Copies of this chain bind each other. A is one copy, B any other.
Amino acid sequence: MAPKVPRQQQPDFPRPYTTVDVVIFTVLDEALKVLLVQRPLDTSDPYPGRWALPGGFVDIERDADLLACARRKLLEKTAVRSPYLEQLGSWGSATRDPRGWSSTHAYFALMPAQDVQLAKGANAADVAWFEADAALAGPSLAFDHAQILKAAVDRLRGKVEYTSLPAFLLAEPFTLPQLQKTYEIVLGRPVDKSGFRTRMMAADFLEEAGVVESASHRPPMGYRLKDRSMPVFFPRTFSPRGEP
């Protein structure tokens, strides 16, 4: 009697599609922005003309691993080589892509707006920055990208409470008032100046980069990150007393 071989052990059982999507954040015009690409109108691809997160299929010839794939997508759309990049989560189901069972590995990236050169790709009619909250409230995105974007915004807003993540949204050198402003933009609320400075200095992740030439008034100190590869975690949160 032949041993029962489960279907999954056969070499050629059907496989889902595998994609990588990247939520790219920056701060521009005093707002948290996210990069979206418009899907082409003149193809048979799903969601023609709709805005979507940059991303696409894993190319098993070119991509050594998921992170490399995310970096490739990032480089193609923004020409930025090594921003802060963090895995966000994955979404997969039989129905999220009309072409068939697919799963996507989502990443999110933080970069200074100055670094970005928007690239009109072959497969994207257009590329543009959208205010994060507007992109969530506005006309619905392709696939389940609204869900993914919401998860990314929630994760970013959450982590900003207790990490140095906003520093990755600024070009170096930056000043403490600029950094504070960035925290306030992402959090959507003001932050106490004195407490903010104490917190940043206590975390010991900045190094002085010389006083910045300012337009007028007292010139501020410029800072650089001691280590651009990782954010720092603060012991507590910025939350007002009562709230979690």
Contacts and interface: CB of A to CB of B under 8 A. Distances in A.
Interface of A: 4, 6-9, 11, 13-18, 43, 45, 56-60, 63-66, 87, 89-95, 99-101, 103, 105, 122-123, 233-237, 239, 244
B92 A18 contact: yes
B93 A56 contact: no
Interface of chain A: mostly helix, strand, loop or mixed: loop
7 contacts: A7-B59, A15-B17, A18-B92, A58-B101, A66-B90, A66-B103, A89-B89
A23 to B, nearest CB: 15
Please give the count of copies of this chain that the complex contains.
2
A218 B131 CA distance: 59
A21 to B, nearest CB: 12
Contacts of A59: 7-8, 13
A6 B56 CA distance: 12
Contacts of A103: 18, 58, 66, 103, 105
A16 B18 contact: yes
A166 B46 CA distance: 43
Given A65-B93, A66-B92, A93-B64, A6 B122 contact: yes
Given A89-B87, A244-B233, A94 B9 contact: no
Nearest to A92: B66
Contacts of A236: 236
Nearest to A233: B244
